[in-house]
A and B are shown apart, each in its own frame.
Chain A
Amino acid sequence: MPKVTIDDITIEVPAGTTILEAARQIGVNVPPAMCYYSKLKGSGGKCRVCLVKVTKGSDKDPRPMPKLVASCRTTVMDGMEVRNVTSPEVIEARRGVVEFLLVNHPLDCPICDQAGECHLQDLSYDHGLSKSRYDFERRTFERIDIGDKIQLHMNRCILCYRCTQVAEQLTPERKHGVLYRGEVSEISTFIATAVDNEFSGNMIDVCPVGALTDKTFRFKSRVWFTKPMYAHRNCPTCSGKVALWYQGEEVLRVTSRKDKWGESEGFICNECRFDKKNTSDWTIEGPAPVDRHSVISQNHYELPYELPVNQKKLSN
């Protein structure tokens, strides 16, 4: 098995593992990922925030790679040495990419439903500048409904292509994709065709920003005022394993369970997501584990909970 050294920590991983996956196995200083999604084939390589520096290609060919590489799409070689947070060049490039991502992204976090669980928000806190140097008009779009449950707000989209990959890989036919090119390219349906199939709701879960939002949850509450609980039901279409987001006794929304990296553990069907909003529909397992540093844990979990069932899942 190839051995790779990332920021001076060595780990042995199966052949074919990407640098990002190896870093996730190490667990510290993991490169951020806006477009890569381990469950979606062909994702990654587009947003460029996960750029890392390969200072030694492999034992066989120790030459460093000439450019920074996208860690989510570069597989490790035996003896490879990678610099992530220990390379000023990488940090500089990442700051640049975050600035580019924010060029056309409105900072409307106070009214955005994704705030609190937005990857771009986290990223700009870590790497962004406090002031934008871009003083031109931003591109703007009209909001469009794709289906009766999902709303697309293109202004916030960072074109990670994850939702088109969900449509391609989870649903029988793809009805939306990317139109036009360059900075005016947009995610859209073919002449406002509704995206209507039983797994379309997963587009909301994979969206790293607030471009695709759940219309049944829009403006109901801030995520940090809701309390996630794990629950399951016998669902004929999907695994039925979900997270319920409670405010008081009321289920405000249902999402798939997210792992440590913000990725769905298992995709869920639209019936579970949009139609089962009563506690009586579900068997409650217990509170969802929330990262201590997440805003969602504010006011809720002063002590880290011990969850034998879910802890096991996380360590996998």
Chain B
Amino acid sequence: MGRKLLLENLDKPEINTIDGYIKYGGYRALEKALKSMTPDEVTEEVKKSGLRGRGGAGFPTGMKWSFLDKSTDKPRYLLCNADESEPGTFKDRLLMEKIPHLLVEGMIVSSYALGCRTSYIYIRGEYMFILRILEKAIAEAYAKGYLGQNILGTGYSLDLHVHPGAGAYICGEETALIESLEGKRGNPRIKPPFPAIAGLYNCPTIVNNVESIAAVVPIVNNGGEDYAKIGIGKSTGTKLISASGNINKPGVYEIELGVSVEEFIYSDEYCGGIANGLDIKACVPGGSSVPILPKDLLFKQSDGSPRLMTYESLSEGGFATGSMLGSGGFIVFDEKACIVRNTWNFARFYHHESCGQCSPCREGTGWMERVLHNIEYGHGKMEDIDLLWDIQRKIEGNTICPLGDAAAWPVAAAIRHFRHEFEYHVKYPHRVFDADHVYQPEMKMQTV
């Protein structure tokens, strides 16, 4: 049984209220940080912990904080990115829904470390019910004197607001989030300047994921070094994984980074194996935008050692043999899943969510979706597969924000590892006409 830092008290009664939260050790980090630590000491602990951004990119949080421009006298802002829209990811939802005070406490401690007087939680529009939960939690914190003027008599003041988006995936990109929060169209900005220099209202801004901010609480409570003891190498601490797909026990699991992928899928503590006694075909380990991994690469790295649930191990070998930990949206496909259909579904999502600002993403995502739709529904041509490859290659890296890459990678990986399924679709159009068609390996032998 691995250590749990965030979801330890998940099942405790009334953990969603401030009294319940305090009963199980809540707001200790707040008192410790504000009363006995300087802001720089808090940042130092986060650096020591080796915490990496939990939103997907895995950038070290402490290092991100140290980029904040403290030379100006402009106000600084901390924004919490609760626009969790990546298909397959639902970890922040659980955290905010069940233990909202963990996020509130994390926001206060992090804002103190960064010297912010106003902080925002930007939550996706579809999480309206969580917005109310958070607002209730914030009101309770104000009533207890944990927020507002002169918190706990320390002279530090902070206002915390929750702001809902209107339901756009792109607003999870940090600069688009800032634009949206400013009341504009959610188009990503062109970087540089980075938000740490000129972000919200042109002031220095830090944007962190919900889970990263929540992780600051145990880091301050137990010290950064204690947090860094968990995990392997540069992947420290625990991570929430949203497991879904054809597994026996879908749900959110807190794992110590370094658990092997095989254990995560087959142990009863986590996913509990593949549903209906089938075999696994492939897995998307980090949310829809990361490359898909076939069975033979999922459990073993290219050098034969077991693949672990860490940032490094999952991305071992680049995209040729690896993927990414991403935001932890772990989607498992059993042998009956159709990879082409799944890739089309992802492409459809990115087509729908492209903001339309830069040309490769605006035009390319729609094009890929249409070609994939043709292949999936039996109207594909052999050269369409190469065309898809060419389109994704021309989107990747040429766009303003990472949405272009996110749209290109799943298509690239599906063609790289499952080209035979695409060819099967083209060769046997009548067979794939059924909605629940499955790729049958023996068909590969009877080539035309």
**In angstroms, how far is the closest chain B Cβ from the Cβ of A245?**
30
Task: Report if A293 contacts B (CB, 8 A).
Answer: no
Contact of B362 among A49, A67, A182 (CB under 8 A): A182
CB <8 Å contact, B360 and A96: yes
Task: Report if B365 contacts A (CB, 8 A).
Answer: yes
CB <8 Å contact, A46 and B400: yes
CB <8 Å contact, A46 and B357: yes
Range of interface residues on chain A? 20 to 34
CB <8 Å contact, B398 and A97: yes
Listed stretches A19-27, A100-108, A278-286; interface member:
A100-108
Q: A73-B190, A136-B370 are in contact. Are A159 and B398 (CB under 8 A)?
A: no
CB <8 Å contact, B190 and A182: no
Q: Give the chain A neighbours of B222 by CB distance below 8 A.
A: none
Q: Bound state CA distance, A99 and B360, in angstroms?
A: 9
Closest to A98 in B: B359
Q: At the interface, is chain A mostly helix, strand, loop or mixed?
A: loop
Task: Report if A48 contacts B (CB, 8 A).
Answer: yes
Q: A93-B394, A99-B394, A181-B168 are in contact. Are A45 and B356 (CB under 8 A)?
A: no
Task: Report if A268 contacts B (CB, 8 A).
Answer: no
CB <8 Å contact, A68 and B359: no
Task: Report if A158 contacts B (CB, 8 A).
Answer: yes
Q: Give the chain B neighbours of A46 by CB distance below 8 A.
A: 357-359, 400
Q: Bound state CA distance, A213 and B185, in angstroms?
A: 26
**In angstroms, how far is the closest chain B Cβ from the Cβ of A156?**
14
Interface string of B393-414 (1 = CB under 8 A from A): 1110111100000000000000
**In angstroms, how far is the closest chain A Cβ from the Cβ of B255?**
30
CB <8 Å contact, A181 and B354: yes
Q: Give the chain A neighbours of B394 by CB distance below 8 A.
A: 92-93, 96-97, 99-100
Task: Report if B352 contacts A (CB, 8 A).
Answer: yes
CB <8 Å contact, A101 and B400: no
Q: Bound state CA distance, A178 and B357, in angstroms?
A: 10
Contact of B398 among A96, A133, A184 (CB under 8 A): A96
Task: Report if A243 contacts B (CB, 8 A).
Answer: no
CB <8 Å contact, A97 and B359: yes
Range of interface residues on chain B? 20 to 34
Task: Report if B307 contacts A (CB, 8 A).
Answer: no
Task: Report if B364 contacts A (CB, 8 A).
Answer: yes
Q: A100-B363, A100-B394, A133-B387 are in contact. Are A47 and B358 (CB under 8 A)?
A: yes
Task: Report if A154 contacts B (CB, 8 A).
Answer: no
CB <8 Å contact, B363 and A185: no
Task: Report if A183 contacts B (CB, 8 A).
Answer: yes
Closest to A34 in B: B359
Q: A47-B358, A97-B360, A101-B359 are in contact. Are A182 and B365 (CB under 8 A)?
A: yes
Task: Report if B231 contacts A (CB, 8 A).
Answer: no
CB <8 Å contact, B398 and A93: yes
Closest to A70 in B: B190
Task: Report if B135 contacts A (CB, 8 A).
Answer: no
CB <8 Å contact, A67 and B397: yes
Interface string of A81-123 (1 = CB under 8 A from B): 0000000000011001101110110000000000000000000
Task: Report if A51 contacts B (CB, 8 A).
Answer: yes
CB <8 Å contact, A51 and B387: no
Q: A45-B358, A159-B356, A181-B356 are in contact. Are A103 and B168 (CB under 8 A)?
A: no
Q: Give the chain B neighbours of A184 by CB distance below 8 A.
A: 356
Closest to B362 in A: A183
Task: Report if B210 contacts A (CB, 8 A).
Answer: no
**In angstroms, how far is the closest chain B Cβ from the Cβ of A58?**
13
Contact of A104 among B351, B355, B363, B397 (CB under 8 A): B363
Q: Which residues from 33 to 73 on chain A have a C-beta closer than 8 Å to any C-beta of chain B? A: 44-49, 51, 67-68, 70, 73
**In angstroms, how far is the closest chain A Cβ from the Cβ of B448?**
23
CB <8 Å contact, A45 and B400: yes
CB <8 Å contact, A159 and B366: no
**In angstroms, how far is the closest chain A Cβ from the Cβ of B319?**
14
Closest to A92 in B: B394
CB <8 Å contact, B359 and A100: yes
- Which of B351, B364, B394: most chain A Cβ within 10 A? B394
Contact of A48 among B359, B365, B366 (CB under 8 A): B359
CB <8 Å contact, A100 and B356: no
Q: Bound state CA distance, A77 and B190, in angstroms?
A: 18
CB <8 Å contact, A68 and B398: yes
- Which of A44, A92, A101, A181: most chain B Cβ within 10 A? A181
Q: Give the chain B neighbours of A99 by CB distance below 8 A.
A: 394
Task: Report if B367 contacts A (CB, 8 A).
Answer: yes
Q: Give the chain B neighbours of A182 by CB distance below 8 A.
A: 351-356, 362, 365-366
CB <8 Å contact, B351 and A51: no
Contact of B356 among A93, A103, A136, A185 (CB under 8 A): A185
Task: Report if A261 contacts B (CB, 8 A).
Answer: no
CB <8 Å contact, A183 and B358: no
Task: Report if A134 contacts B (CB, 8 A).
Answer: yes
Contact of A103 among B367, B397, B400 (CB under 8 A): B367
- Which of B185, B352, B359: most chain A Cβ within 10 A? B359
**In angstroms, how far is the closest chain A Cβ from the Cβ of B168?**
7
Q: Bound state CA distance, A51 and B404, in angstroms?
A: 15
CB <8 Å contact, A183 and B363: yes
CB <8 Å contact, A48 and B185: no
**In angstroms, how far is the closest chain B Cβ from the Cβ of A184?**
8
Closest to A67 in B: B397
Q: A96-B394, A100-B364 are in contact. Are A47 and B370 (CB under 8 A)?
A: no
**In angstroms, how far is the closest chain B Cβ from the Cβ of A44?**
8
Closest to A139 in B: B366
**In angstroms, how far is the closest chain A Cβ from the Cβ of B432?**
20
Q: Bound state CA distance, A103 and B360, in angstroms?
A: 10
Q: Bound state CA distance, A99 and B365, in angstroms?
A: 13
**In angstroms, how far is the closest chain A Cβ from the Cβ of B47?**
22
Q: Give the chain A neighbours of B362 by CB distance below 8 A.
A: 100, 159, 182-183, 185
Q: Bound state CA distance, A14 and B360, in angstroms?
A: 32
Residues on A lying within 8 angstroms of B by beta carbon are: 44-49, 51, 67-68, 70, 73, 92-93, 96-97, 99-101, 103-104, 133-134, 136, 158-159, 161, 177-178, 180-185
Beyond contacts A45-B358, A134-B367, A183-B365: 18 other A-B pairs, Cβ-Cβ < 8 A, are A48-B358, A49-B359, A51-B398, A70-B190, A73-B190, A93-B398, A96-B393, A97-B359, A97-B398, A100-B360, A103-B363, A136-B370, A161-B357, A181-B168, A181-B355, A182-B351, A182-B362, A182-B366
Name 6 interchain pairs, CB-CB below 8 A, sorted by A: A159-B357, A159-B359, A181-B354, A181-B355, A183-B363, A183-B365
* Interchain residue pairs A-B with the least CB separation, the first 6: A96-B394, A185-B356, A45-B190, A100-B363, A182-B354, A103-B363
